[in-house]
A and B are shown apart, each in its own frame.
Chain A
Amino acid sequence: MTDPRVFSIGMRLSKVRRIIAVTGWKGGIGKSSIACALALALAKAGLKTGLLDADFTGASCHVILGARRSFPKEIEGLEPPLVAGVKFMSASFFSGGRAVALRGEEITQSLLEIFCVTQWRELDYLIIDLPPGISDASLDIIRLVPRAEMLVVTTPSVLAEETLRRSLKLFRAMRIPVAGTVMNMADRNGRAVGDKPLDRVPFDSGYEKTLGNPRALAASKLFKAVARLAAKLDAGMVRN
């Protein structure tokens, strides 16, 4: 018995130049916010960009981008709709606003299915928003898409920094490429962390009001910081 889907992932991603997976081992530290802003910033810089929300049980990107009205087209699989210039794919298209209760194996199945049927075609960047921690979806991305580079989000807290250190150590041991680390909700004194500190993203009291409106998001303080980070990423300053 062979699962045919694993044979198609390479083909589906063959025209994607770089894949960045936004990770972080704490919940609620801004992974999804940064993933969305990053995708938006890269698209605004004229780069062909895709965004995959790989957090099936806690999907957020569709809310941040206000993608409630779009739906993939059926062309040789599923063609992700363009949302604010970004090719966007999420299980939220199929769950109709309901709770998605899935176990590990079911998350793996869902991820395989989405990779098999999604036609990203030619992209400069595919951004993947991961759920918190190093579990099902993250391990599957590492297994199925080994060239995905981790962009590790942290916050100015001893708790976040401790998990950050552990995560970087594991990534190094597993030879997983790391694009860099980002300190989110950083105050002025927030130190840079990790061996490849990319940038700091300040706490933005106006960010909440931009949710669901990519235009407002693009004018936010959070976005400006992430756009700087996107430029650094794209300049290859932190490439492995």
Chain B
Amino acid sequence: MHEWALVDAVASAAETAAEQEKLKKVDAVVVVLGELQNVDRAAARRLFAELRKTKKKALHRARLEIRAEKAVFRCRACGKTFGLRDLNKLSHKESEAVHFLPEMAHVYTECPACASRDFEIARGRGIYVREIRGER
């Protein structure tokens, strides 16, 4: 599964952060999942429960908290702001490609106002760590 690599990266990032912050025990790792990449929440939680065991002890009982973030695009040509719903519907193959590599949105979609491909993914691209909570 492709999510494996992303969740593994999250666990490693949390492990490093815990070391830097001198946390003895990490309670929660709060991640933001961008709508565009469409990572399966249940799968991410399951994978994290497995992968935390492969990291340092501080992480072994950590919980993965997931926050969703809607995708927001901003056209660099005309300034229009739009979301995933405003885009022409992607085929299964196309949304799979965007799932693997969110920048492929530039390949399969365009600004609904002016048809430019030169837009910015302002929010909701992929996965990032917002917060790590734990005890020193």
Measured CB to CB, the residues of A under 8 A from B are 1-5, 7-8, 11-12, 56, 74-78, 91, 94-96, 98-103, 106, 109-110, 113-114, 116-119
Does B23 belong to the interface (CB within 8 Å)? Answer: no
Q: How far is the CA of A2 from the CA of B15 in the complex (A)?
A: 12
A21 nearest CB across to chain B (Å) = 20
Inter-chain contact A4/B5, CB cutoff 8 Å:
no
A-facing residues in B102-127 (Cβ within 8 Å): 102-104, 106-108, 117-118, 121, 125-127
Q: 21 A-B residue contacts at CB 8 Å?
A: A3-B129, A4-B9, A4-B10, A4-B12, A7-B9, A8-B12, A56-B103, A74-B2, A75-B1, A95-B104, A96-B93, A96-B94, A96-B107, A96-B108, A99-B107, A99-B117, A100-B104, A101-B107, A102-B103, A114-B101, A118-B5
B6 touches A4 (CB 8 A): yes
Q: Decide: B12 and A11 in contact? CB cutoff 8 A.
A: yes
Q: Are B102 and A113 in contact (CB under 8 A)?
A: yes
Q: Tally inter-chain residue pairs, CB-CB below 8 A.
A: 100
Contact with A along B88-105 (1 / 0, CB 8 A): 000001100100111110
Contacts A74-B1, A76-B8 supplied; 20 other A-B pairs, CB < 8 Å: A1-B128, A4-B31, A4-B129, A7-B13, A76-B4, A77-B4, A77-B5, A77-B8, A94-B101, A94-B104, A98-B108, A99-B117, A101-B106, A101-B118, A102-B103, A102-B106, A106-B106, A113-B101, A113-B102, A117-B2
Taking the complex as formed, is B78 at the interface, i.e. its CB lies under 8 A from any CB of chain A? no
Residue of A nearest to B4 (CB): A76
State the Cβ distance, A2 to closest chain B Cβ, in Å. 4
Task: Tell me if B130 counts as interface (CB < 8 A to partner A).
Answer: yes
A189 to chain B, nearest CB (A): 45
User: What is the minimal beta-carbon distance from B19 to any residue of chain A, in angstroms?
Assistant: 11
How near does chain A come to B108, taking the closest CB pair, in angstroms? 7
Do A2 and B101 touch (CB < 8 A)?
Answer: no
Are A94 and B106 within 8 A (Cβ)?
no
Decide: A2 and B129 in contact? CB cutoff 8 A. Answer: yes
Nearest-neighbour CB distance to chain B for A99, whole angstroms, equals 7
How many residues from B make CB contacts under 8 Å with A? 33
Residues of B within 8 A of A (CB): 1-2, 4-6, 8-10, 12-13, 16-17, 31, 93-94, 97, 100-104, 106-108, 117-118, 121, 125-130
**Which residues on the A side are within 8 Å of B6 (C-beta)?**
4-5, 116-117
- Chain B residues contacting A7 (CB-CB under 8 Å) are 9, 12-13, 16
Contact at A117–B5, with CB atoms within 8 Å?
yes
Chain A residues within an 8 Å CB radius of B10:
4
The answer for the CA separation of A82 and B9 in the assembled complex, in Å, is 25
Interface pair B128/A2, CB less than 8 Å apart: yes
What 7 A-B pairs come out closest when comparing CB atoms?
A77-B5, A8-B9, A4-B13, A94-B97, A4-B9, A2-B129, A7-B12
Chain A residues, Cβ within 8 Å of B130: 1
Distance from B107 Cβ to chain A, minimum over Cβ atoms (Å): 5
B100–A117 contact, CB under 8 A? yes
